[in-house]
């Protein structure tokens, strides 16, 4: 077998055989297939697609490139959640302890932010002392003792995806449904969760800009999970505007703790509860009431134990930004649009995200929203507050905000998009 014939097959719109897929994934992981050859193949897949059999085989080959975890020793059923990424999407933080408080075990392997979308690990690292990197034994110990763990995926899990995702990120080949589906599902299946809820984001701040694309991605991933024996369901959720009132690392941790304390923005609470109900249902946990677990403090108790078990101090003061810049409403009326992508880019430029994998992030940087679509706004009153430790970034961030919102005449009737679309 050789890489050129595999590339030519897909370039010429052919179907890759099982043998070709197994060989190319294995040879790429071992370094026998070069990055430039794999990027040509990824581009051919992006342009010409893969059928269900090819996607399933590609996923299986990526799983086989590494180890598989096993949670069968746990007394509770396992449930995991994966979001395809968005702006202000902090739901993993309250959700994992909430679902654990209701009786399931939540092994949540998470990632870092890249580009305009935030990453759960970057957010949690703004808590002094908290560690994302755990050995498999430590992960199992935190999970068994607290019911939930949020940590980085170890190097042993689907190493082919780790290499391929980094390559796709710099070759314009991220946005291919077969590659996104196989990337996400190879990690989730290798992780060994019994059930999985997928939060597939739709809108300007998401990879999938249309409901049709999101539906295709969701059904591809649900098929891959189900065929591998993982009970998998998907929700399509809105990402046309940021989730909640904050985008940025420490800002989002603060908002998540508000949710765990029984408060927080209505959309974050609604999505967290919707995902929790799906996870508990998929895990077969009956008669649990996640709304009660938020209200009575039991989810907060799990959060505090989970953070402490990973070295974090749940009572520590979170970092605050050195400099703030307030954007005021240019007119009075009704906010009818606040674009997730514009806010995400602004948060990223303020220092909340990184341009290259090795860049550090600023814990306190980000954007705070003072209004959501549908809210009335008043000329001269704050619309957004930008936070950073490096004020020379304000101008560049403000360019991203320009043109990212619309204000209609006072009294204009406007119904914001629902949080859960399907």
Q: Which of 57, 90, 163, 168 is catalytic?
A: 168
Residue number, 20 or 117, with CB nearest to ligand URA = 117
Q: Which of 10, 82, 123, 349 is catalytic?
A: 82
Could you confirm whether 168 is annotated as catalytic?
A: yes
Number of CB atoms found within 10 A of residue 298's CB:
17
Query: What is the DSSP code (8-state) at residue 152?
Result: E
Q: What is the DSSP string of 228-263?
A: TT-EEEEEEEE-SS-STTEEEHHHHHHHHHHHHTT-
CB 107 to ligand URA: min, Å: 16
CB 120 to ligand URA: min, Å: 12
Cβ neighbours of residue 355 closer than 8 Å, sequence gap 6 or more: none
180 makes contact with ligand URA (CB under 6 A): yes
Q: Which of 80, 89, 122, 161 is catalytic?
A: 161
Residue number, 85 or 312, with CB nearest to ligand URA = 85
Cβ neighbours of residue 213 closer than 8 Å, sequence gap 6 or more: 177, 202
206 makes contact with ligand URA (CB under 6 A): no
What distance in Å separates the CA atoms of residue 339 and residue 265, rounded to the nearest whole number?
Answer: 18
- What x-and-dash track marks residues 328-367 binding ligand URA by CB under 6 A? ----------------------------------------
Could you confirm whether 187 is annotated as catalytic?
A: yes
Could you confirm whether 82 is annotated as catalytic?
A: yes
Q: Which of 183, 195, 228, 321 is catalytic?
A: 183
CA distances from 361 to 2, 107, 204 (A): 41, 25, 23
CB 257 to ligand URA: min, Å: 26
What distance in Å separates the CA atoms of residue 235 and residue 198, rounded to the nearest whole number?
Answer: 6
What are the backbone angles phi and psi of residue 254, rounded to the nearest 5°?
A: -60, -45
CB 355 to ligand URA: min, Å: 18
Which region, judged by CB under 6 A, interacts with ligand URA, from 58-66, 127-135, 177-185, 318-326?
A: 177-185
CB 275 to ligand URA: min, Å: 17
Which of 110, 183, 220, 240 touches ligand URA (CB under 6 A)?
183
Q: Give which of 329, 311, 281, 343 is closest to 86, Cα–Cα.
A: 343
Could you confirm whether 161 is annotated as catalytic?
A: yes
Which region, judged by CB under 6 A, interacts with ligand URA, from 33-41, 178-186, 195-203, 259-267?
A: 178-186
- What x-and-dash track marks residues 67-86 binding ligand URA by CB under 6 A? -----------------xx-
What distance in Å separates the CA atoms of residue 202 and residue 84, rounded to the nearest whole number?
Answer: 9
Q: Footprint of ligand URA on residues 136-175 (CB under 6 A)?
A: 165, 174
Residue number, 178 or 342, with CB nearest to ligand URA = 178
Per-residue exposure over 3-18, b if at least 16 CB sit within 10 Å of its own CB, e if not: beebbebbbeeeebee
What distance in Å separates the CA atoms of residue 119 and residue 125, rounded to the nearest whole number?
Answer: 10
What distance in Å separates the CA atoms of residue 344 and residue 246, rounded to the nearest whole number?
Answer: 10
User: Helices 159-169 and 18-30, interaxial angle, to 10°?
Assistant: 80
Residue number, 167 or 419, with CB nearest to ligand URA = 167
What distance in Å separates the CA atoms of residue 25 and residue 178, rounded to the nearest whole number?
Answer: 14
303 makes contact with ligand URA (CB under 6 A): no
Q: Select the residue whose beta carbon is closest to ligand URA and give its number.
A: 183
Residues identified as active-site: 82, 161, 168, 183, 187
């Amino acid at each position: 077998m050789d890489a050129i014939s595999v590339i030519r097959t897909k370039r010429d719109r052919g179907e890759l055989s099982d043998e070709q897929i197994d060989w190319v994934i294995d040879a790429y992981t071992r370094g026998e297939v070069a990055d430039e050859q794999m990027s040509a193949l990824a581009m051919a897949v992006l342009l010409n697609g893969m059928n269900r059999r090819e996607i399933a085989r590609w996923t299986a080959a990526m799983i086989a490139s590494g180890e598989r975890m096993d949670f069968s020793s746990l007394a509770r059923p396992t449930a995991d959640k994966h979001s395809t990424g968005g702006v202000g999407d902090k739901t993993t933080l309250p959700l994992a302890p909430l679902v654990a408080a209701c009786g399931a075990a939540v092994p949540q392997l998470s990632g870092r932010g890249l580009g305009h979308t935030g990453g759960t690990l970057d957010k949690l690292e703004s808590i002094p002392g908290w560690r994302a990197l755990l050995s498999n034994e430590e992960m199992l110990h935190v999970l068994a003792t607290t019911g939930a763990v949020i940590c980085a995926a170890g190097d042993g899990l689907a190493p082919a995806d780790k290499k391929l995702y980094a390559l796709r990120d710099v070759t314009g080949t991220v946005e291919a449904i077969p590659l996104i589906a196989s990337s996400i599902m190879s990690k989730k299946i290798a992780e060994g969760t019994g059930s999985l809820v997928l939060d597939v984001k739709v809108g300007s701040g998401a990879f999938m800009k249309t409901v049709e694309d999101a539906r295709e991605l969701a059904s591809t991933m649900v098929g891959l999970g189900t065929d591998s024996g993982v009970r998998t369901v998907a929700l399509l959720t809105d990402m046309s505007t940021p989730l909640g009132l904050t985008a940025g690392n420490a800002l989002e941790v603060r908002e998540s703790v508000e949710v765990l304390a029984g408060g927080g923005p209505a959309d974050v609470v609604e999505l967290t509860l919707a995902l929790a109900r799906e996870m508990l249902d998929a895990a077969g946990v009956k008669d649990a009431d996640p709304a009660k677990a938020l209200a009575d403090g039991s989810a907060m108790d799990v959060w505090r134990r989970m953070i402490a078990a990973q070295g974090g101090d749940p009572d520590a003061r979170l970092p605050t930004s050195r400099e703030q810049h307030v954007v005021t409403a240019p007119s009075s009326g009704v906010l009818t649009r606040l674009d997730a992508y514009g806010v995400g880019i602004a948060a990223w430029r303020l220092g909340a995200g990184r341009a290259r994998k090795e860049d550090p992030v600023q814990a306190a940087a980000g954007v705070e929203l003072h209004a959501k679509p549908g809210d009335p706004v008043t000329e001269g009153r704050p619309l957004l507050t930008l936070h950073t430790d490096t004020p020379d970034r304000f101008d560049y961030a403000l360019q991203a905000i320009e043109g990212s919102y619309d204000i209609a005449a006072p009294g204009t009737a406007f119904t914001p998009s629902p949080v859960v679309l399907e």
